[in-house]
Structure 1
Amino acid sequence: MSNARTHTSSVSVLSDFKEITKMRLAISVVFSSVAGYFLGAEVIDFVTVLLLSIGGYLMVGASNAYNQIIERDLDALMDRTKNRPLPAGRMSVTTAFTIASVFTILGLIVLYIINPKTAMFGAISIFLYVSVYTPLKTKTPLSVFVGAFPGAIPFMLGWVAATGDFSIEPGTLFMLQFFWQFPHFWAIGWWLYDDYKKGGFFMLPTGKRDKGTAVQVVLYSIWTVLVSLIPAFGVTGRLYLTPIAAGFILLLGLGMLYYAFRLYKQRTAQAAKKLMFASVSYITLLQIIYVLDKFLRQWI
């Protein structure tokens, strides 16, 4: 009986650890960083890839843990977050703070081993997310604009890790993921509007599920697709897309735009949920196409 209880307890501790660091989100951020690294690297160094993955996970995990410490009382008010470790009382603030602090220090050390600029951008990301974006979420819809900065860093961070340099190429990757944040987060904000309202979060640009918000979702979706295609015109240094790859990106973009327009027409939570999934598919497949296009060009 005690063995079963110990097993259940260890499973619970592991699941709480995964939740306080938002493991699934952290892994998606690591994926973005590694994609950026593959795009920037002239020779793949798998030790650097490993360090980038570990450092990236630690930094995102730290940001999420700090975020949940700050928002624990508000999380308790919302259905989707009330069972998180802190509001549910399964983890103390001290434990969460220890995890966040250790992750921050280790993350910065690991990223610094790659190169100082990578560590600098990692530090900027965690500072903006925790100290600026998180407090603003209950104050103004502009929080999404502020949050788009740390959210756009991972794709760019991989290129900086590969080259030790910030230039037009990582700047383009940053801009791409920056614009993408808006339709993605506004779709989430629309879908979970009622729940966010309980916690007092302002996620939509007009504060409401209205035509004004829907128009902005469509506009930022269009800008995201346009920025995604800029490398096809040969104006972004070593970051280049072949016409075939650009065609695939355009098709993906039209798919995301279809769901953005559906949200504009229907203005329902269900339409917003579909756009959210479409936006995740878009950015993931885009990163895969960018990387495949680079390596296929080298091999052919």
Structure 2
Amino acid sequence: MKTVLSTSTKINPITLIFDDFRQITKAGLAFSVVFSSIAGYLLGAETVSFQILLLLALGGYFMVGASNAFNQIIERDLDALMKRTKNRPIPSGRMSVNAVFLIAVVFTVLGIITLYVVNPKTAMFGAISIFLYTSVYTPLKTRTPLAVFVGAFPGAIPFMLGWVAATNDFGIEPGTLFMIQFFWQFPHFWAIGWVLDDDYKKAGFKMLPTGKRDKGTVVQIIMYTIWMILISVIPVFGITGELHLSVTAAVIIFMMGVGMLFFGINLYHKKDNKSARNLMLASVSYISLMQIVYVVDKFLS
């Protein structure tokens, strides 16, 4: 008997190429970065320009795509050692280093040009983000847990970048937005580091502050979460220039932060992967909802 193969099991080559491109540029991460940038823009803009919004979204995607493409070139041998990353386009052999390098360079150029059209300061911060991520954060990941501290700088730029795009100015307002997302990075990435610790150790990544899944790591998670909560409601006191927050919005954001803190305390008591994963999911929800509350509060106040 002849075996008839169903054509539905065949994978379209175009789909494979698209999926590899998505993995190289980390489209999901790019979406969150663009979301943060747009939120920052809406907070800083007196009049919303949809042209600037489009340029900011495109520029943000190009910058994130470039950073992650460079990152996957640098870490290609380490990616091959980890279960989570061994099937990425480069270690799996589906894409060459030269092809990914071309994508990274083109995205860098397009990103800087696009953001420069918005204004020079936006392009400058975008370029700084790529440099810190690829040239400082990535090499440090196998050397010291301080890599997370360094990586928090480019990770905190998007929220701030939107305000700079709207105003062409850097002051206390974008500085405050930067600090909120800066302190948020630590509980978020240490929760990820906790869940993926075994895989990270295969590649020699030092992502947890104490190097272990212990109480010392969770204490730092809790401390940074508290700082994040405090800074996120500072605008309610009227000391952050044109960045304002109503009492109602501040209470909502404070309670969301307390909710995230609860998951950190739960991890302290249980010290298991399930609790760390819950904290990670809570942190993702917090950063998006917090930005939405800020924007909605501006337009309703």
TM range (shorter): over 0.9
- Residue 101 (str. 1) matches residue 125 (str. 2): no
- Which of 188, 194, 197 aligns to 1:190? It is 194
Q: Percent identity?
A: 68
1:76-225 to structure 2, matched below 5 A, reads 76-225=80-229
1:72 corresponds to? 76
Structure 1 residue 269: Cα displacement: 1.0
2:15 corresponds to? 11
- Which of 32, 36, 52 aligns to 2:36? It is 32
- Residue 46 (str. 1) matches residue 46 (str. 2): no
Distance in 2 between residues matched to 1:258 and 1:177, nearest whole Å: 19
Give 3-state SS (helix, strand or coil) of 1:69's partner: helix
1:252 corresponds to? 256
Distance in 2 between residues matched to 1:150 and 1:24, nearest whole Å: 17
Runs of 4 or more consecutive aligned structure 1 residues displaced over 6 Å after TM superposition? 3-7
Distance in 2 between residues matched to 1:24 and 1:231, nearest whole Å: 30
Distance in 1 between residues matched to 2:237 and 2:99, nearest whole Å: 50
2:271 corresponds to? 267
Q: 1:98 to 1:6 in 2, by over 3 A?
A: farther
Distance in 2 between residues matched to 1:220 and 1:6, nearest whole Å: 48
Q: 1:48 to 1:206 in 2, by over 3 A?
A: same
Q: 1:5 to 1:276 in 2, by over 3 A?
A: closer
Distance in 2 between residues matched to 1:101 and 1:157, nearest whole Å: 21
Distance in 2 between residues matched to 1:5 and 1:208, nearest whole Å: 43
Distance in 1 between residues matched to 2:284 and 2:32, nearest whole Å: 10
Distance in 2 between residues matched to 1:6 and 1:150, nearest whole Å: 40
Distance in 1 between residues matched to 2:59 and 2:48, nearest whole Å: 17
Q: Per-residue displacement from partner, 1:58-103 (whole Å, max 9, x unpaired)?
A: 0000000000000010001101101110111100000000000000
Structure 1 residue 251: Cα displacement: 1.2
- Residue 232 (str. 1) matches residue 233 (str. 2): no
Count, aligned residues:
296
1:281 corresponds to? 285
- Residue 56 (str. 1) matches residue 60 (str. 2): yes
AA at the equivalent of 2:160: M
Distance in 1 between residues matched to 2:8 and 2:184, nearest whole Å: 46
- Gaps of at least 5 residues in structure 2 are none
Q: 1:67 to 1:234 in 2, by over 3 A?
A: same
Distance in 1 between residues matched to 2:147 and 2:254, nearest whole Å: 29
Q: What TM-score results when the alignment is normalised by the length of structure 2?
A: 0.97
